[in-house]
Structure 1
Amino acid sequence: MKVLIAVIFPLITNLCFAQNIYKNQSLGFDIKQPENWIVAKDGQTLENLKEQIKLDSKTLDKLIENNKGTIQIVSFYKYPIESTHGIIPTIKVNLRKNSTKSFEEFKRSIVESYSSIKQIFPDFKFLTDPTKAKISGLDCVKATSSYTLKAHTGEEKVTITVYAVPVKDKFYQITFMDSENEDNTELYNKLAETILIY
């Protein structure tokens, strides 16, 4: 009986864990889905941006322009968009074009891409400068920044950690966002360890 329990328990554990994994085999990306978080529907991320954040049309146009050439893999929200006001903790995974030839060139291009954000959000600052890190055994660029967004509930400072993982002529951009009112850093760090890129 003990042998049977010893064999069945790991199978049940693996099966339960597997049910919480978001997989996109066509784009080669897996991540553990945070418990009780909501998977966004296609286009819902942009709609949330338009509904919850007060941006003038020029600023919104710039943000959208900066995101051309992007495939949204998945987004998770901690709370329902329809019934939550203000900044919602969000995890967003995109696949983007990469025209660089080396990791150092890629890192420079990521650092340069922050200059457009600095122009849009004057109080932008790095909490952690872009550095080389690892995701799924692959070299990546990791940076943590903060800046203020205007939401319907007033101004809120957001903290954003981005992992940019180059794979040939594409790169995965994994973004973890929190408001100043909520800190999910520990969860985000654990989730980053579950990412599998193939």
Structure 2
Amino acid sequence: MNRIIYITIMLFVLVASAQRRFENKTFGFSMQEPEGWVWGNNTDLALNLEKLDIDEEKLKKIVEDHKGSILILSLFKYDPQTYKGLVPAIQINVRERKNEDFDTFKSDVIRSARSFHGLYNDFEFIEEPYELKVSHIKSIAFTTKFTMNTDNGQQYRVRSRIYVIPWKHYYFQINMTDDLMGEDCSLEYLKLIKSIKIERK
């Protein structure tokens, strides 16, 4: 009996350890990838930066030169080419940080979030912007909902969870979307946020 339990535990450990951990050494960012999700067309720029020895000032300039934003990862729960419907998705960008005072930065983030009222008539907050710690960093998070119209006339009720993590001369913006009227990925997204590590260099 003890042997069966031991074998079961060992199998669980092997399966759990097979889950991939995404790491971007350039920006010191890592997280556990949701199991079974597929990579999108992630930018070659983020991958190429990993091969270079870049100091902080050069990195800041690179982000600025790319319109203030670099995509470092996009993930989809299903293959967007074959799945019918709204595909739950995760997108992580590094963006230019124009103000290093946290309170001012937070006000800028909230003002930017509220500007979506002009893009979607039914845009509203499910969770108003609030402060939390991601890894060791004081950050901002909020959840919104809105209706998205596709080119072929379909409509989807989208739930979008956004986490904003200020770090050095830039910030990480994590967008996680799913179908408000369909599949709820809340548990997967919460697990992802808890797994994030950002280096203290």
TM-score by length of 1: 0.77
How far has the Cα of 1:17 moved from its partner? 2.8
Checking the alignment, whether the CA contact within 8 Å between 1:86 and 1:153 is kept in structure 2 is no
Query: Structure 2 vs 1, CA of residues 13 and 113 (structure 1 numbering), >3 Å: closer, same or farther?
Result: same
Misfit runs of 4+, over 3 Å: 12-16
How far has the Cα of 1:18 moved from its partner? 6.8
Partner Cα distance (2:21, 2:13) in 1: 13
Q: Name 1:98's counterpart in structure 2.
A: 97
Q: Structure 1 unaligned runs (5+)?
A: 44-66
Q: Structure 2 unaligned runs (5+)?
A: 44-65
Q: Answer yes or no: is 1:30 the counterpart of 2:17.
A: no
Identity over the aligned pairs, expressed in percent? 28
State how 1:38-57 maps to structure 2 within 5 Å: 38-42=38-42
Q: Could you list the per-position Cα deviations for residues 106-157 of structure 1 after superposition, in whole angstroms to 9, with x for gaps in the alignment?
A: 1101001123321111111001000101101110000000000013472111
Q: Which amino acid aligns with 1:193?
A: K
**Which deviates more, 16-25 or 153-162?**
16-25
Checking the alignment, whether the CA contact within 8 Å between 1:27 and 1:73 is kept in structure 2 is no
Partner of 2:117, secondary structure, is helix
Query: Structure 2 vs 1, CA of residues 155 and 19 (structure 1 numbering), >3 Å: closer, same or farther?
Result: closer
Partner Cα distance (1:84, 1:176) in 2: 18
Q: Could you list the per-position Cα deviations for residues 151-185 of structure 1 after superposition, in whole angstroms to 9, with x for gaps in the alignment?
A: 34721111111110001220000111111211000
Query: Structure 2 vs 1, CA of residues 38 and 103 (structure 1 numbering), >3 Å: closer, same or farther?
Result: same
Q: Name 1:194's counterpart in structure 2.
A: 195
Partner Cα distance (1:123, 1:141) in 2: 23
Partner Cα distance (1:165, 1:153) in 2: 35
Partner Cα distance (1:97, 1:117) in 2: 20
Partner Cα distance (2:176, 2:77) in 1: 11
Checking the alignment, whether the CA contact within 8 Å between 1:30 and 1:196 is kept in structure 2 is yes
Query: Structure 2 vs 1, CA of residues 42 and 101 (structure 1 numbering), >3 Å: closer, same or farther?
Result: closer
Q: Which amino acid aligns with 1:171?
A: Y
Q: Could you list the per-position Cα deviations for residues 53-73 of structure 1 after superposition, in whole angstroms to 9, with x for gaps in the alignment?
A: xxxxxxxxxxxxxx9421101
Partner Cα distance (1:23, 1:129) in 2: 30
Partner of 1:160, secondary structure, is strand
Query: Structure 2 vs 1, CA of residues 31 and 14 (structure 1 numbering), >3 Å: closer, same or farther?
Result: farther
How far has the Cα of 1:100 moved from its partner? 1.1
Q: Name 2:71's counterpart in structure 1.
A: 72
Q: Which amino acid aligns with 2:128?
A: D
Q: Name 2:46's counterpart in structure 1.
A: none
Partner of 1:115, secondary structure, is helix
What is the total number of aligned residue pairs between the two structures? Answer: 170
